A and B are shown apart, each in its own frame.
Chain A
Amino acid sequence: MLRASSENRGDALDPRAITDPSIDPLVEGGSRLIGFVDAVLGGGNVDGRRASLGTALGSDAVVDASATIANFEMMNRIAQGTGMPVGKGSLAQTEEWRSLIGLDRYRHR
Chain B
Amino acid sequence: MQPGWLRATWKRQTLLVERQDGSGRSWSIWCHNRRMTQFLEDVSIPIRPEIPALFAREWSRLAAPGSYWSGRQRIEMAATAREARAGSRNGNSSLPAAAEEAASLLGARPAGTSRSWVESTMVDLGSGPYIEIVGVVSRAVAVDTFHRAIGSPLPRLPESVAGDPTGINDPAARSGPAWVPMVGGASIVGALSAVPPEAEAQEDMHGPLYLTYQQMQDLGFVRGLSRPQMELVAARTSAINECFY
**Chain A contact residues, CB within 8 Å of chain B:** 1-2, 4-6, 8-9, 11, 13, 15, 17-19, 21, 25, 27-30, 33-34, 36-38, 40-42, 46-47, 50, 54, 57-87, 103, 106-109
Q: Which residue of A lies closest to B119 (CB)?
A: A83
Q: Are the CB atoms of A47 and B236 closer together than 8 Å?
A: no
Of A5, A34, A57, A62, which contacts B228 at CB under 8 A? A5
Chain A min CB distance to B196 (Å) = 15
Q: Which residues of the other chain, B, contact A27 by a CB distance below 8 angstroms?
A: 228-229, 232
Q: Which residue of A lies closest to B223 (CB)?
A: A64
Of A8, A15, A28, A73, which contacts B241 at CB under 8 A? A73
Interface residue? B242 (CB, 8 A) = yes
Q: Are the CB atoms of A69 and B134 closer together than 8 Å?
A: no
Cα distance A40–B245 when bound, in Å?
Answer: 19
Interface residue? B188 (CB, 8 A) = yes
Q: Which residues of the other chain, A, contact B237 by a CB distance below 8 angstroms?
A: 37, 41, 68-69, 72-73, 76
Q: Which residue of B lies closest to A54 (CB)?
A: B45
Q: Which residues of the other chain, B, contact A103 by a CB distance below 8 angstroms?
A: 239, 244
- List 15 A–B pairs whose Cβ atoms lie within 8 Å, in order of A's numbering: A2-B228, A2-B231, A2-B232, A5-B230, A27-B232, A37-B233, A42-B240, A68-B230, A70-B149, A71-B210, A83-B115, A83-B180, A84-B245, A85-B177, A103-B244
Q: By CB atoms of chain A within 10 A, which of B134, B205, B243, B244 has the most?
A: B244
Q: Are the CB atoms of A38 and B236 closer together than 8 Å?
A: yes
Q: Are the CB atoms of B46 and A59 closer together than 8 Å?
A: yes
Q: Are the CB atoms of B113 and A69 closer together than 8 Å?
A: no
Q: Which residues of the other chain, A, contact B243 by a CB distance below 8 angstroms?
A: 76, 79-80, 106, 108
With contacts A74-B205, A78-B134 known, is A41 near B240, CB below 8 A?
A: yes
With contacts A5-B227, A9-B220, A27-B228 known, is A47 near B151, CB below 8 A?
A: yes
Q: Are the CB atoms of B205 and A46 closer together than 8 Å?
A: no
Interface residue? B166 (CB, 8 A) = no
Q: Are the CB atoms of A70 and B131 closer together than 8 Å?
A: no
Stretch at the interface among B10-18, B140-148, B157-165: B140-148
